[in-house]
Amino acid sequence: MTQMSSDQAIARLAKRPPVGASKLLGSEPVEIDTERGFARIAYAAKPEFCNYLGLVHGGFLSAMMDEAMAIAAAAQRNFEYVVPTLAMKTTYLAPAKPGRLLAEGLVVRAGRRVAFLEAKLFNEDGILAATASATAHIRKAPWL
């Protein structure tokens, strides 16, 4: 498979059909490594994402990591495949306040049909706020 630069991968990602969840989360690709299966995505966590403590709700943090892992896995296949999550485990380590959050998704191992993925999410202070691992199904992108 032909490897793309980070800028090329980000441009290719931008050509995919728009995804409502990405818009809601304020998704902005920062770095994509198609060879490693790695994606660093910035998110604009809004006050509307917060729980009663004023911290970003864990469901939003999980969604951010889920997307970062899916982008990493799709990038490794030049965005010709989609990678819906089959199962995901999230561990919350530190609070995340509204603002810019960074999620990193990584392909640990991928076969023809199944991928094993990991993610880290950093709060605005650069502190590791959450981690996740997931199993995902690899299938041809329906728009190709």
What gap in Å lies between CA 82 and CA 141, rounded to an integer? Answer: 5
Task: Determine the pLDDT at residue 31.
Answer: 97
User: Which residues of the chain are under the pLDDT cut of 70?
Assistant: 1-2, 18, 144
Q: How far out from the chain centre does Cα 3 lie?
A: 20
Tell me the fold of 6-140: Thiol Ester Dehydrase; Chain A (3.10.129)
What tokens does 8 get?
Answer: 């090329």
Task: Determine the pLDDT at residue 20.
Answer: 87
What gap in Å lies between CA 100 and CA 48, rounded to an integer? Answer: 14
**Closest by Cα among 102, 105, 100 to 88:** 105
What gap in Å lies between CA 46 and CA 89, rounded to an integer? Answer: 24
Task: Determine the pLDDT at residue 18.
Answer: 67
pTM (predicted TM-score) = 0.93
Task: Determine the pLDDT at residue 144.
Answer: 64
